[in-house]
Amino acid sequence: MRKMSRMEISKECRRVLNRHGVDLSYCQYICSPYEVRLHGELYKIDGTDFNANEIDYMIHDFRKVLSGINVFGELENWRFNSDQIQYTGDKSTKTGGSDKEAEVYVIDLDDYDFEAS
């Protein structure tokens, strides 16, 4: 498999984010030949929050499309890497409330086959 250019990585990253319904007015991404980093806030286009299973599936999609590239989320409401997903956002909604929770979900990479289909 040939190495992708930074522009190709960025294009594929945007496709994955669009496929999962990420609102890119809240979430920004930075691509390099070795990693993708997400910043800002992670919300769906309809304004709702993601759940851990949806983020797990999105990470799986990134790893399938961008083989060999690590994905890191350093967002206001979520933190994730190849080992875990942690919800750090407001429990009630994105616009109000003061209850914070920090749930941690462990990703089992043995559940996935990262070979391109």
**Mean pLDDT (the chain, rounded):** 84
Coil/strand/helix, residue 38: strand
Q: How confident is the model at residue 95 (pLDDT cuts 50, 70, 90)?
A: very low
pLDDT at 91: 65
Token couple for 2: 């040939």
Q: How confident is the model at residue 106 (pLDDT cuts 50, 70, 90)?
A: confident
Residue 100 has pLDDT above 60, yes or no: no
pLDDT at 3: 80
Strand order of the β-sheet with 103-106 is: 27-31, 35-40, 70-75, 78-80, 84-87, 103-106
